[in-house]
Amino acid sequence: MSSLCGLSIVNYLTICYYNHKKVHQLIKKRIIVVNGRTVRTPKEKVAETDEVTINGGKTAYQKCHYFLMNKPKGVLSTTENRSQRTVISLLDPQDRYQGIVPVGRLDKDTTDLLLLTNDGQLNHELLAPNKHVAKIYHAKIAGVADSNTVKTFATGMTLGDGTKLKTVTFNVLKQDVENGSSEIEIEISEGKYHQIKRMFSAVGMEVVELERVSMGKLRLPDDLKRGEYVEIDVDEIK
């Protein structure tokens, strides 16, 4: 029996392409066709072997989708918010698949690499503490980070509220002693709440700008601008 046997046209297209509201609109327009038959009701059933077209174009069943986004400042890494923009709102309507969520959260003012997917298993594996998926960030710091700072982070810090952190390595990319600032690259394998900001705060410094440049081996394409995203396939994820 097909794995899609008995799936309604609404659920099929929600998994593959659109949200429920959009599918109902397409049904009303009479432009969805299954095996040459125009779909007239949301209860229409679809099997994996069926040919489904929308306005003449063939669809292909694809349960999971993956997007790499260059997250801009001022946007929340969440699925919905009544008063503020979210990363989901940056997706084109046809890419807002059911279950699509950001993998982990970047702070509102943190930028760069963010993965969005409706692959729950992948989401879990990337965020599970025991998986140790490395995440690299670049940051501008108010304060002069030096070799002593590097050693402090490398020993495994305990924050003021008792939160224990794993050892962290980072490189000082640039120092400006006169203006009391630094630029650093830091790698972490866990994702505690505001972790990098809290770590530098614990040593009397402040994170002024923060961007995530990689997650595992995932990096953004060089030409991907802030607020833009690109779909990647499961092989690239693996």
Q: Which residues are tagged catalytic?
A: 107
User: Residue 143 burial (CB < 10 Å; 0-12/13-18/19+)?
Assistant: middle
User: Rounded CA gap, 50 and 40, in Å?
Assistant: 16
Instruction: Estimate to the nearest angstrom the gap between the alpha carbon of 192 and the chain centroid.
Output: 16
